[in-house]
Each structure stands twice: as C-alpha cells, then as structure tokens.
Structure 1
Amino acid sequence: MREAMVSAAQQHLCIWLIVVVLFGEIDLSKDTKPLFNTKEKSDTNVQDGKMKTLSTGFIYDPSSRSNPNEAVTKRFHWRASVNFQAKEINAVVRYDVIKQLGAQKIVLDASLDLKVHSVEDVDGNSLTFERLATDIYGAPLSINLPENINNITIVISYSTSPTAGALQWLEPAQTLEKKQPFMYSQNQPIFARSMIPCQDTPQVKMTFFAEVQVPESLVALMGAKSVAPRQPRQNKTTTNELQEIKKTKMFRFRQDIPVPAYLIAIAVGDVKSRRIGRISEVWAEKGYLETAVHDFSDIDKMLDAAERIVGSYRFAMYNILVLPPSFPYGGMENPCLTFVTPTLLTGDKSLTNVITHEIAHSWFGNLVTTKTYEHFWLNEGFTVFLERKIQGALFGSDERKFSAKIGYIRLKDIIEKLSDFDDTRLVTNLTGRNPHDMINRVGYEKGHTFLWYLEQLVGGDKPMNAFLKSYVDQFAYKAVESDEMKDSFVTFFATTNNLTSIDWNAWLHGRGLPSYVPDYSTSLEAQVDRLLEKWRSINHNNLELVSSNDIKNFSPQEKIAFLTKMNAEKIRLTANHLEKMSTEYGFDVSKNSESLRCLPDYYCLVGVSLAKSL
C-alpha cells in the first residue's frame, strides 16, 4: 500500500509541476467571477456572480452515479496539457459546487482508467476521496465535503489514459496531410467521464473557462469562444522551462452558456480556418479547406431561417471543424464548433442537410437539453423537426415533406429490424444499459412523426412555430423531460379543443410504429415512384431502357429517396443491374456517401467496380 501511495504522490507532484511550468504559478484562491459571469436567463443557481442554495428538479438518471440532488457542479475552470507522446491529457479542474446543507459528499462520474491524483479545496486543504465500485458506467469519484456550508470550490488534479473512450489519438498517417498527429474528443453519450471527472448526466449544465497547452505546431479548438492567450510569467520560470514553453502554445476558451458534460469538446491538430459567414468560420486540414468553404457557404441562410422559426441564436459563434476520416459520425453538435466528417465534402453541397441538422441542435439539445438519455427524443426528434422546417423555408414545403417521407421509410425499416422491441419507444428504459448501445433513428424519426402529428392537430406551421419559440424561451439554459414538454404544449394550446384526442401514453411509451400514418405526399415523390415502377420491370433483356436521363433532373434528395425505396421494397438486383445503374446514374463516381449507403446490395456494386478496374 505504501508503494502505491508514494507512486500516487509522485504522479500528483509531476502533474502539478507540468501545469505550473505551462501556465505560470497557479493561484486558485483568486476570485474567478469575471471568467464565469454567465448570461443565463433561466432560474439558475448562479446569478450576478453569487451562488444560491441548491434547488431540486433533478431526476434519476440510470446512466450516471453522480448526486446532483445533493451537490451539483455549476461552473468549472479547466487547465490542461495535451501530451501526444503519452496519449494523455494532464489537467487540473476547479469546480464551483452548490450543495444541500448537511450533504456530506459529491459524487462525480469517472471512467476506471481516469487517474485522480489529488482533491483539494480552494485554499489547498486536502479533501478525502475514494473511488467507488466499478460497474459498466465506470468507477465514480466520491469526495467528502464539509457539512456546514452550502457552497465550496474543489480542485482536482488528474490524468486521462491512452484508453480513454472520449479521446481519439491519430497518428500523422491517419490524417489527410500525413504530417502531424491529431486528437479529438467525442463525449456523447457518456464518454466525458473518461476525459474529465464530472457529473456526466445531461441535466447538469455548466459554464466553463479553459486553458489548453499543445505543441507549437498545432492548434487547439474547443466548443466555446476563443479568448486571447495569457503569456507565461517569464520571471518565475527557469531557462530550461522557458525553452520547453517555446515548444508549446496555449489556447484559452470560455463558454458562457451552460452546457452538459457530453458537449464539452476539444480537438488538436494542424488545421487552418476561413470565414464563411457573419459569425462562422470553417476549420480543416489544408487539403479540405477550399471544398469546405464552398460546401458550407450557405451557413448564414440556414441560421437566418432557423432564427425566423425559433428565435435568436444565443451562442457566441457557429463554427465548423472538418475532422479526419476516422470521425465516426456525420456531425456532432458541439456548441460553437460543430464537428463533421470529411465525407460531407462532395463539392456540390448535396449533404449540407447534415449542417442544417447540427444547426438545429443549437436550440434543441444544446440550449434546451434532455434531462437523461431516456428522453433522448427531446434532443433528436425536435432537432429533425426543426431541420426539416429549415429545409422547407429554404427550398419549399415539398422538400420538407420529401425529406420526412424518406425518414419515415427508414423508421419503418429500423423498427422491423430491432431485436429489442422496447427500443422502439420514445421514452426508453436504460437501467443497466449503456445509452450508446440504444442510440438509433427511432428517437429521431418517431419523434419527428409525433411532432408532425401535433402540428397538423393544432392547425399547421404557424401555430406550431409559435409553440416551438415559446418552448425554447421557457426551457432555455435548462434541461427538460417528456412530461414537462407535454405540460408546456398543453398549456400553450389550452384553448385548442381537440387536444384530448392525443394519446400521450401511446406516443411516448408505446412500442413500434404509431397508428397515425403521416401524409407526406409531394410531386417529388411521384417522380421517384415513376422511376421505381420502371425498375420493377427491368430485367436482363431490357437493360438498355436504363438511361442517365432517368435521373437527369433529380435532386440529391430524390436520388436518395429512390435508393431508399428500392431497399425498403427489397427489389433484388443482379450484378448486371447494379453495373448499369452505377454507370448510367453516376453512382460509381459519386462523392455523396449517403447515396452509396443507400445502394441496395452495395457490396455487389463494390465488387463490380473492382472487377472493372482490374
């Protein structure tokens, strides 16, 4: 035991010295109110820079072992050094905590491989802590607190592990330019606890200030506003220390809007930026930059359309970071800095609907946040609903309905394939389960279908838009669960007579497809259906009927709808069919990854293309 204790003490000393060298002498007793002067308009526990007593309102979250009902983190100051050689982040995090009088501890979620070196109060007094029993959610950090105070600041020194689930460390060969390493985080749904000990439940939302030290050849970005860096205190460092500092750069960030832990985001790499809008820049490796500037140049139009529907955009900026190809999602809605895959860069803007989706998250998910992942549809269903409203505002109502039709076809297909029928509910049960294992399109598309149904019930676009704006204003900067959304809707439409026909229980808790079938009929769909009918009659004797003219006037959405419907109908195609489709319709040279994903029996098409190239 003594050897382990000495080792931990040595680690703590090393981490502390690293941070002192990088940032100058650390005085955590200084008042940091100016850094955290939040602009929250909700009934928050921080007002005018002063802490209030803790209010209730937190609900049970099976995916977190934290205790925000007893003690809650409201803001934090993060000082971190990114070490590519060791593939770890060495950091000190300072939390302002509000606790119930008499509460004896605060519990923070932490992954088993997160190494905690010390815990102190703001005056440097040690606080006793322990790691709780390990389960599928990690090994939580329990910190003992004084009982006779409401507010306390705690300071935690820790290091991440090379195996941290939140952090992806890429070698130069895994980037486009092949010259520098790259690191980025992906904290959703519950990976933040491997990057920082935290209350990793969406209902706990925090403002923050961060200082990040990285190698001098790289750039650090976070989901926050960048602020001017502070220079090292040269009079308090040795010559050797100054030489080490010259090999690094420090970046500073602040986020004045409270966000949950899953939206704390960092990326470090060799990236450049170009302005693409009033409050927007795109960041990318040099080889991606020109295409990204072109493909994302309509960003202001998207933001303007969204603001007309749900009110003002409240974050400091809307930037986009194009990540290396290993990024596992189309996009991630990190506040102020959306992460996207380079597969969106088609050169023809055909996948910019992904950006529209991430913009919509700025209101639903980022500003108004689900309390737990059991109510995940409140993030994604509302976001898809707004995304398609933005599409309708920009390209016409037919485009909105056409996109919804594609989504509904996919919803039916997903529900048919899901082995756990309970996962087809809008409100799910995550007890004993990792929420990452149940994230699917049900929350997105069934949630959208429910909101479409409600819109038709209350009289269409105009009254529903008024509700969305009211809902955002009511819950901005807060977290919400399904019953609160229901109460908000019923209150807003109190004078509408037919609300009693809504079967809330069936929609929120029922399995499978709802009995309601939406009408998304458009002229665009009719054109797709005519081509689909043609392909039902295509055989090896009449392949010459397939022509590039078939889809000459198709939009990217119509091409995707055609392929989606072919998949849904399980129309079987031979290798000759696929080769003809590929060459005539240009799918073999398409950069639209969504089209390729939708191709039926695509593995056959790949085989055909490979055979042709031999």
Structure 2
Amino acid sequence: MSFARTLFVSASFVAIAACSPKDSQPTEDTTVIVAEEAEYVEQDEMEFMVPGEEREVVWDALTPEEARDKFTYSNYNDARVTHLNLDLTVDFDTKTLFGTAEINFRKRTRGTATLILDTSKLDVSKVEAFTEGQWVETDFTMGPHDPVMGSKFEVSLPDRARKIRVTYRTSPEAEGIQWLSPEQTAGKEHPFLFTQFQALNARTMVPIQDTPAVRITYDARIRTPKDLLAVMSARQDVSGDLDGDYSFKMTRPIPSYLIALAVGDIKFKKINNHIGVYAEDYILDASAEEFEDTPKMEKAIADLYGPYRWGRYDLIVLPPSFPFGGMENPRLSFMTPTLIAGDKSLTNVVAHELAHSWSGNLVTNSNWRDAWLNEGFTSYVENRTMEALYGEGRAVMERLLDKQSLMRDVEAAARPELTALKMPADLGHPDDAFSQVSYAGGMFFLKFLEERFGRDRFDEFLRAYFNEFAFKSITTEDFLTFFEDNLWADQPDAVTEAEINEWIYQPGFPDSIEKPQSEAFNKVDAQINAWMGGGDVDGLETSAWTTHEWLYFIAQLPESLTPEQMAALDERFQLSTSQNAEIANAWYLRAINAGYEPAFEPLDAFLMRVGRGKFIYRLYAALIENGRRDWAEEVYDRARPGYHPIAQRRIDDIFAQ
C-alpha cells in the first residue's frame, strides 16, 4: 500500500532538502521531563514514567514547508522556543498585565541571527538577551498589526544568546483576555479575569511562537490583589493563602494555546485526591455535584488508552461570558456554567475536555488545518467514555445528535473545501476549522475504522498511537503513516485507499458514515406522530426523557407547527423558561423560525446572561435570517459588553455578513 507511505516519504524529503546547506544543519533539541505526581503510582501500567523518573524528550523535527503553520510569523524552523518564564502583575484598573517574559530558545539552523515571535497589541518597552553571563539590551522591531495574525516581533540575537527577556504590557483590548467588573460577576464584590488562547490568542498575553507546532514548558509568577486567587494550567503553589503572589510550573511541553490564567474570587471543592472544582461560591457546590463522575471518566479513558499523564485534573467553572462549552487547558479545564443542569445530562462536555488530556494536549495537531486530530479523536474518546459510564443507549443518542449537527454544518459551509477533515491550505482563520466537521466528522471517521478493524484491535492501535506521539505535534499524514504501519498493514483488506482518501481529503462525508439508530429516539418519533396525527399535547409522555430526548424532540418537530401548537407545548413543558441551556437554545431556534412571540422575552434574557458561542452565534444568525435584525441589534447592543471579545468578533461578523 503506497498511500500514506508516499506522503511520508515526500514530507521527509522536503525536510532533508530544507536543511541540506552547510549553514542550515539542525541542532539537537531535547528537554528533560521529570515525573512529580504521586497519582502515577495508582496506574496499572507504567510504560510512561514513575514518580522521580527522568526522561529526555526529543523535540519535533524540522517542519516541511507544506506543513508549516501559516498563522504564525515565527521562524520556528530556525530557532525554537523551549521554555517560558513569566513574571506578571494583574492590573484591574488599567485592564492590563505587565512584567517580563524570559524566553529560552534553541537555534535549529546555524547562522540564525534573529528570533521571530508572535504578538498582538503588546506594548514592548525593552528586550534583553542573556549572553556570556549577563543581560544586555538588544534591538527589536515590531511589525504592523494584522487583525488575524497580530504583529511580527523580531529580536536581534547576539552571538551565543540562548535566552531573551521582554519587558512589556498587554492591551486592554486583548482578544484573549476578558476583564469582568465586579458587577459582571455573581458575587458583585470583586473583578474577574480569564484567558482563552485557542487558537491565536496566546500572543495577546505573551510574546511567543504562537503555533501548535511548537511545544514549551513554562513557569509563572502572577501577582494579584491580595483578596483574589490566581489559577493556571500548571502545577500550583501549595500554600493556599490569598497572598497576591502565586507561582506555577508546567513541566510537560505544551503548545502555547494551552497556557491559561484565571483570577477572581474563586473557591475550591475537592472531588477526590487529585480532582476538584474551582468556581465562584454561588455555583461551587452544584458544580462539584454535577461533575462528581469525573474520576470515573478518568479511569474509563485510562483503562482504554493508557494512564493520565498530567498529575492533577481540576476544573474551573467560569462566569457565563466564557464563549465555549469547555477548554482543555492541561490540569485545569475551563468550563461554562451552562453545563450545570442538575442531572449530569450535559457532562459529556467534561468527558470531552478530559479526553483532550490524551488527544490534543498529549498528541497535538501541528497545524490548524489538521484540527480533526485534536477534536475528532477527542469526540471519539468522549463518546466511548459516555458508553462506558452510562451505557450504549446514551452514546448512540449523542452520536445521532452529533450527526444531525454535522450535516447541518456541512450544508451551511461557506465552501465545499471546509467540509473535508483535512482543511484547505488557504484556510482564512483557524476558527473555520472548529466546526462539527472536525469534531463529529473526525469521530465518525474513527468509528468507521473501529467497525472495519474491530473494536479491540482499534483500541490497541489507539493506545499505541497515544504512546508513540506523546508530547509531540503531528500532521494528518503522520497519523496516516502510523495507521498504515501499525494497523492497516495487518488487515490490508479492511479498507481501501480510495475510502481513506474520501474520508480525509474529499468534501462532505461518504456513504460509509455510521447511521446511528436509537430505540429511545424511535419512541420519541412515535409520540410526535401520534400528537401530530390528532392527539392531545397532554398525551405526550415525557417524564422519563433525558436532555437528549428533548433535543431530538424539538429538532424533529415539523416546520408546519402552528403558533397554537407551539403555545400548547410551551404551556405544558415551560420550554421558553427552561433552566437547561441546551433545551432552551433548541426551543428558541424553533420559536424564531416559527415567529412564536411569547418566546422572545425569555430569549432576550437568555442572550443577556449567556455568552456561550454555540448558542448565541446561531441565535443571532437565525434572528437575522427570519427578519428580526432590528430586534437582534437592539439586544446585542445591550448584551455585547458582557460577551467575550472572541464572541464579540464572531457576532460582529454575523451582522456584517
């Protein structure tokens, strides 16, 4: 079979050719990882590391030009950042962070005289290089600001310099940092800040090679007002005192988008000895109860795919303006409060963010064109986790709902190339790669492979995959080569080259995609048919329905539903005022399409208090598409100050289009 191997040989040739001149020979790039966490002792298998063990990790090879990340200015093939040491003060009055970033790097090609980093609206006052035992000022240039890429930051490197120190201040308009006033928090007494760096926003807080192709370790010292707690995606200092001076250490190499910081009136509640929840006090107990199955999720994934390799796993429930369901920052997943439904019905998002500890954080896409390697693998592991904990019925329901979302995103794609797993070379913004194509589409591709090769054999393959590429950044073609050598070669007739090509590189999805069948949803269909056939709304038996059945029910309601029928449903089930954000969002979309007026007042309140992009982007778009632009603009004018800058940009684009 020549498919994947041909791609691999081609990539290797480009890498060798790129460093063939005498002055461009790659230097060895290594770092040492030390296992520190006692939790490793509890794992059944020790193929990775035990506490106290040291292991040298070789940094990734030079990146072939065709696989280079186009969303970075950095010269990471010539000089690669290896470690970051932050010393920053949080200034809520000016809405800025200020201090220094010490940046260790290694030259990868001889003769490299500059280090090029990514920045966005950073105010740099001084740059020093450490050479021959002392810090000396060095020249730098800051390029013009691009709305997507930020600015190219070029630092002159004295001979023998292997570290620079940048003194700077962030911008109050930094897209990756949201500053909330006390009035925007639940407690109303203290301000709050949190970061969101995926995909291009680490550069808004620190000068860095802001690309998933580059993995770094980091230390940080964060100074805050003394009555606030700082937490980061790293090992915390252990004093627990609110002293306004916090230290952090991340000893595993991670891509820059996984650096994360939150500061606020935050409390902590333990779930077990290495898992817990941070949150504002008003939602802390409910969050810990909602997420109490997280240890079971960790065990389920570890049993399938090998030990959890990050030490602690905590979650933080952020204010409602957080624009995502969750963000997989290592050791500390950021979560939306819209998951706190009271019945654990939305905890698949917890399973998803935890699963990223294997797919995404441990093995990372080196280019946003390959985002399915992060999100598709994670969605697959998430679904397997839900099956292990709650049964096949729930896993099938979630896959069926995901497939509906996938087909909707395929139909709505701006162009066909955005419906292939491998995103096009002219991808305009990484945001375009984060549709259900990468998430559900990638999951269904892996489900296809599972069916063809058998679940047991496929699980064995995935376990080997996570081990092989641990703490590395890879491309689709790297995966395909490993797949060919370690799975396909053993069962050459299980799939054809044409089938793999169709799944990875062709727009849309092939007929071989799974067609999930849910017995629970079949019963929902029967009830809908009985009601629409002349039955009474009181005849709908919903007492045992889960959130999934409600979402399916609302999605399957016919477009011909009359306002009277909408009102009957709303009166019986209080859908317009549902406290389950998923159900409320699905109902509002139907209400907008149907022009059901009683839903608009609670919709207004929903848009004012919820900043999760999954909900608000579609709601604003639906309002515009259904002739409610003026109403939507009036609501958005009031709601916009409370939305995250990322959400503001996305909704501004929706109105502009």
Short-chain TM bin: 0.7 to 0.9
Aligned residue in 2 for 1:491: 485
Distance (Å, rounded) in 1 between the aligned partners of 2:297 and 2:125: 46
* 1:146 shift after superposition: 3.6
* 1:214 shift after superposition: 0.2
> Could you say what secondary structure the match of 1:82 adopts?
strand
1:395 equivalent to 2:383? Answer: no
> Could you say what secondary structure the match of 1:369 adopts?
strand
- Deviations 1:58-110, CA, capped at 9 Å, x for gaps: 63111111111100011111111000001000021111111022112111011
- Deviations 1:282-325, CA, capped at 9 Å, x for gaps: 11111111211211111111111111111111112111111111
Contact 2:313 2:331 in 1 (8 A): yes
Question: Relative to 1, partners in 2 of residues 1:175 and 1:143: Cα closer, same or farther, differing over 3 Å?
Answer: same
> What is the aligned counterpart of 2:281 among 286, 301, 307?
286
> Could you say what secondary structure the match of 2:584 adopts?
helix
After superposition, residues 246-395 of structure 1 pair within 5 angstroms as: 249-395=244-390
> What is the aligned counterpart of 2:583 among 583, 595, 604?
595
> Could you say what secondary structure the match of 1:125 adopts?
strand
TM-score, normalising length from structure 1? Answer: 0.84
Question: Relative to 1, partners in 2 of residues 1:451 and 1:157: Cα closer, same or farther, differing over 3 Å?
Answer: same
1:103 equivalent to 2:112? Answer: yes
Distance (Å, rounded) in 2 between the aligned partners of 1:424 and 1:102: 42
Aligned residue in 2 for 1:521: 517
Distance (Å, rounded) in 1 between the aligned partners of 2:118 and 2:386: 39
- Deviations 1:332-377, CA, capped at 9 Å, x for gaps: 1111111111111122222111111111111111111000110001
Aligned residue in 1 for 2:122: 114
> Could you say what secondary structure the match of 2:111 adopts?
coil
Contact 1:229 1:251 in 2 (8 A): no
> Could you say what secondary structure the match of 1:427 adopts?
coil
> Could you say what secondary structure the match of 2:320 adopts?
coil
- Deviations 1:231-252, CA, capped at 9 Å, x for gaps: 9xxxxxxxxxxxxxxx961011
Contact 2:35 2:54 in 1 (8 A): no
> What is the aligned counterpart of 2:526 among 527, 530, 548?
530
- Deviations 1:465-510, CA, capped at 9 Å, x for gaps: 1111111001110011101111111212121132452422221111
> Could you say what secondary structure the match of 1:413 adopts?
helix
The one-letter amino acid paired with 2:598 is: V
1:87 equivalent to 2:87? Answer: no
- Deviations 1:208-255, CA, capped at 9 Å, x for gaps: 111100001111010111024699xxxxxxxxxxxxxxx961011111
> Could you say what secondary structure the match of 1:572 adopts?
coil
> Could you say what secondary structure the match of 1:124 adopts?
strand
Aligned residue in 1 for 2:69: 61
Aligned residue in 2 for 1:137: 149
> Could you say what secondary structure the match of 1:515 adopts?
coil
> Could you say what secondary structure the match of 1:558 adopts?
helix
The one-letter amino acid paired with 1:515 is: D
* 1:55 shift after superposition: 4.3
Aligned residue in 2 for 1:565: 556
* 1:164 shift after superposition: 0.7
Contact 1:110 1:193 in 2 (8 A): yes
Aligned residue in 2 for 1:204: 214
* 1:551 shift after superposition: 1.5
Distance (Å, rounded) in 1 between the aligned partners of 2:155 and 2:500: 41
Contact 2:554 2:590 in 1 (8 A): no
Distance (Å, rounded) in 2 between the aligned partners of 1:443 and 1:164: 27
* 1:37 shift after superposition: 5.3
Aligned residue in 2 for 1:413: 408
Aligned residue in 1 for 2:622: none
Aligned residue in 2 for 1:218: 228
Distance (Å, rounded) in 2 between the aligned partners of 1:407 and 1:395: 17
The one-letter amino acid paired with 2:590 is: D
After superposition, residues 542-553 of structure 1 pair within 5 angstroms as: 542=535, 545-547=536-538, 549-553=540-544
Aligned residue in 2 for 1:23: none
> What is the aligned counterpart of 2:545 among 548, 554, 567?
554
The one-letter amino acid paired with 2:248 is: F
Question: Relative to 1, partners in 2 of residues 1:227 and 1:89: Cα closer, same or farther, differing over 3 Å?
Answer: same
> Could you say what secondary structure the match of 1:528 adopts?
helix
* 1:39 shift after superposition: 5.0
Contact 1:36 1:75 in 2 (8 A): no
The one-letter amino acid paired with 1:142 is: E
Aligned residue in 2 for 1:174: 184
TM-score, normalising length from structure 2? Answer: 0.79
Distance (Å, rounded) in 2 between the aligned partners of 1:48 and 1:531: 60
> Could you say what secondary structure the match of 2:93 adopts?
coil
The one-letter amino acid paired with 1:510 is: Q
Question: Relative to 1, partners in 2 of residues 1:549 and 1:167: Cα closer, same or farther, differing over 3 Å?
Answer: same
* 1:166 shift after superposition: 0.6
Contact 2:452 2:495 in 1 (8 A): no
Structure 2 segments unaligned to the other structure (5+ residues): 1-30, 37-46, 604-657
* 1:514 shift after superposition: 2.1
Question: Relative to 1, partners in 2 of residues 1:49 and 1:390: Cα closer, same or farther, differing over 3 Å?
Answer: closer
> Could you say what secondary structure the match of 1:381 adopts?
helix
> Could you say what secondary structure the match of 1:448 adopts?
helix
Aligned residue in 2 for 1:126: 137
> What is the aligned counterpart of 2:470 among 465, 469, 476?
476
Aligned residue in 2 for 1:608: 598
Structure 1 segments unaligned to the other structure (5+ residues): 1-34, 232-246
Aligned residue in 1 for 2:638: none
* 1:396 shift after superposition: 1.5
> Could you say what secondary structure the match of 2:263 adopts?
strand
Contact 1:109 1:141 in 2 (8 A): yes
Count of residue pairs the alignment pairs up: 548
Distance (Å, rounded) in 2 between the aligned partners of 1:56 and 1:103: 14
Distance (Å, rounded) in 1 between the aligned partners of 2:60 and 2:379: 34
* 1:577 shift after superposition: 1.6
Indicate the RMSD between aligned Cα atoms, in angstroms: 2.7
Distance (Å, rounded) in 1 between the aligned partners of 2:438 and 2:158: 42
Distance (Å, rounded) in 1 between the aligned partners of 2:185 and 2:172: 19
Aligned residue in 2 for 1:3: none
Question: Relative to 1, partners in 2 of residues 1:257 and 1:548: Cα closer, same or farther, differing over 3 Å?
Answer: farther
After superposition, residues 445-464 of structure 1 pair within 5 angstroms as: 445-459=440-454, 461-464=455-458
Contact 1:351 1:592 in 2 (8 A): no
Question: Relative to 1, partners in 2 of residues 1:534 and 1:91: Cα closer, same or farther, differing over 3 Å?
Answer: farther
The one-letter amino acid paired with 1:473 is: N
Distance (Å, rounded) in 2 between the aligned partners of 1:53 and 1:518: 38
Over the matched positions of the two proteins, sequence identity in percent amounts to 31
> What is the aligned counterpart of 1:465 among 459, 470, 486?
459
- Deviations 1:161-213, CA, capped at 9 Å, x for gaps: 00111100011111111111110001011011111011111111111111100
> Could you say what secondary structure the match of 1:601 adopts?
helix
1:422 equivalent to 2:417? Answer: yes
Question: Relative to 1, partners in 2 of residues 1:448 and 1:344: Cα closer, same or farther, differing over 3 Å?
Answer: same
Contact 2:129 2:158 in 1 (8 A): no
Question: Relative to 1, partners in 2 of residues 1:426 and 1:306: Cα closer, same or farther, differing over 3 Å?
Answer: same
